[in-house]
Chains A and B, each alone.
Chain A
Amino acid sequence: MTWTINWTSAAPAITAAFLAALVEAVEALTIVLAVATVRGWRPALSGAGVGIMLLAVIVLAFGPLLDRVPLHLLQLAIGILLLLFGMRWLRKAILRTAGIIPLHDESKAFASETGELRAQALRHAARLDWLAAIASFKAVVLEGLEVVFIVIAVGAGNGMLVPAGLGALAAWLLIAAIGVAIHRPLTRVPENALKFAVGVMLSAFGVFWLGEGLGVPWPGDDVAIIGLAALVLLVALAGVALTHRHTVEVT
């Protein structure tokens, strides 16, 4: 049996899943490292490990159900959720790029999490390992759920679940390897630029899947996603320019 990939469909799905997973993995790593710094690697890794197992169970439980949903309904549902999710990311990324809301800062997140864990150490010394493991578990599950959603959303409508999943897995393994090697939060990853790019791609996928679900015959079929992404990117850049100009005029 041979398995061929249509790269025109696969490349945007794999890229979106990889970049989104990269952003989420960086955020999860910050919390896991904070737990490891305060309480050691045992609660940090056990919490993260249980979180990864729960995510795997969710994927294995819900993944096969997707095949039973009629395709156009799946495309409509995924399209709406992708638009809401992608535009939420893109809105935040535009406002951060324009300087209207502050950039996400991994060193601040790390300091806040270690501070919180140290405060808990004073209050609940006996249960601290348990609380630390829960913090690590929660970070992996919450960030991982977003990745699971993105993989399903960009992959389920066109049979690209496996390539998109592999893209996301590659990103998590890459960030885990870097985290193990340097033992510090990844503050130099251009998180907002990545979120900007992923927001553009997810919004384009959302418009495309919604259209497919409504029976829109997109010119160029799957290639239309690239055109839609270019249009969303132009509008997002215009948004940055216009909001930035407004901020400068006000100050």
Chain B
Amino acid sequence: MTALAMILRELAGLFVDDGALALAILAIVAVAAVISLALPDAPLLAGAVLTVGCPGVLLLNVMRAARR
């Protein structure tokens, strides 16, 4: 294991602990980005997706973790 690989793993670990949660957050971000590009006249819609979606995926993730 090189020192560089160890540093990169530590850095990645700062942002990703549970892969499913990270992927779900990125999916919400992608949906919000697509909405903001497709519907430039309704910019609050992307905000609503982020506001509801991000806490929503967190709640689902912890409930699933509790069932495991």
Interface set of A (CB-CB < 8 Å, partner B): 79-81, 83-85, 87-88, 90-92, 94-95, 98, 100, 142, 145-146, 149, 203, 206-207, 210-211, 214-218, 228, 231-232, 235-236, 238-239, 242-243, 246-247
Q: B55 near A232 (CB under 8 angstroms)?
A: yes
Q: A84 near B15 (CB under 8 angstroms)?
A: yes
Instruction: List the B side residues contacting A79 at CB < 8 Å.
Output: 29
Instruction: List the A side residues contacting B21 at CB < 8 Å.
Output: 87-88, 91
Q: B18 near A91 (CB under 8 angstroms)?
A: yes
Leading 10 A-B pairs by shortest Cβ distance: A216-B47, A243-B66, A235-B55, A84-B15, A214-B36, A239-B62, A246-B66, A88-B17, A211-B47, A207-B50
Knowing A84-B22, A203-B55, the reply to whether A247 touches B66 (Cβ < 8 A) is: yes
Instruction: List the B side residues contacting A214 at CB < 8 Å.
Output: 32-33, 36, 43, 46-47
Q: Which residue of A lies closest to B56 (CB)?
A: A235
Instruction: List the B side residues contacting A83 at CB < 8 Å.
Output: 25, 29, 54
Knowing A84-B25, A207-B50, A216-B43, the reply to whether A149 touches B66 (Cβ < 8 A) is: no
Is B63 interfacial (CB-CB < 8 Å)? Answer: yes
Instruction: List the B side residues contacting A236 at CB < 8 Å.
Output: 55, 58
Q: Would you call the interface of chain A mostly helix, strand, loop, or mixed?
A: helix
Separation in Å of the B43 CB from the closest CB of chain A?
5
Once bound together, how far apart are the Cα atoms of A228 and B47, in whole Å? 11
Instruction: List the A side residues contacting B18 at CB < 8 Å.
Output: 88, 91
Instruction: List the A side residues contacting B54 at CB < 8 Å.
Output: 83, 87, 203, 206-207, 232
Q: Which residue of A lies closest to B35 (CB)?
A: A214
Interface residues on B, range: 20 to 34
Instruction: List the B side residues contacting A92 at CB < 8 Å.
Output: 17
Separation in Å of the B29 CB from the closest CB of chain A?
6
Once bound together, how far apart are the Cα atoms of A236 and B15, in whole Å? 19
Instruction: List the A side residues contacting B22 at CB < 8 Å.
Output: 84, 88
Separation in Å of the A247 CB from the closest CB of chain B?
6
Interface residues of B in 16-68 (CB under 8 A from A): 16-18, 21-22, 25-26, 29, 32-33, 36, 40, 43-44, 46-47, 50-51, 54-56, 58-59, 61-63, 65-67
**Interchain CB contact (< 8 A) of B58 among A98, A145, A211, A235:** A235
Q: A87 near B63 (CB under 8 angstroms)?
A: no
Q: Which residue of B lies closest to A245 (CB)?
A: B66
**Interchain CB contact (< 8 A) of B46 among A87, A216, A232, A243:** A216
Once bound together, how far apart are the Cα atoms of A88 and B22, in whole Å? 8
- Contacts A/B (CB < 8 Å), 9 sampled: A83-B54, A207-B54, A211-B32, A211-B46, A214-B36, A232-B54, A232-B55, A238-B59, A243-B66
Q: Which residue of A lies closest to B32 (CB)?
A: A214
Instruction: List the A side residues contacting B36 at CB < 8 Å.
Output: 214-216
Q: B29 near A246 (CB under 8 angstroms)?
A: no
